[in-house]
Amino acid sequence: MTGAMERSDVMRAVKGRDTTPERVVRKILRGIAPGYRLCRRDLPGAPDIAYIGRKKVIFVHGCFWHGHDCKRGARLPKANAEYWATKIARNVARDQKHRGAYAEMGWRVLTIWECETRDEAALIVKLRDFVDATIF
């Protein structure tokens, strides 16, 4: 029973907002394209960053939680592996559903992966290209 309680405490401590990768992205955006809004619950998936007038949203995803194909995202815990595989698959399916909703609305979506926040120069270029691109 103690193991389950410890796991529960660990999971409860996982932040859903204002994570380090989100703060890194927002710091860069403040310099190149201020005027974004945070966690808009009225938009599909409550994106981490939204430019309402530009019809653009940015999701900052943790590699593990959203099944990225990097070293950290591809690693599943040994304990309760089936549970985690199912949970991550549900997250991936939900992310695809949200992307589809934005496509139907005519919005553009950018996903920044946690591992991408480690290369600030490349991240600046990626964010600038996304924010500055026009939709036709």
| pTM for the full predicted model | 0.86
Of 135, 4, 126, 2, nearest to 58 by C-alpha is 126
Alpha carbon separation from 28 to 21, 41, 120, 128 (Å, rounded): 11, 23, 9, 9
The domain defined by 16-132 folds into Endonuclease; Chain A (3.40.960)
126 exposed, middle or buried (CB, 10 Å; 0-12, 13-18, 19+)? middle
Q: What's the pLDDT tens digit per position in 20-76?
A: 999 999 999 999 999 999 989 999 999 999 999 999 999 999 999 999 999 888 888
Q: What's the pLDDT tens digit per position in 81-120?
A: 899 999 999 999 999 999 999 999 999 999 999 999 999 9
64, 75 Cβ separation under 8 angstroms: yes
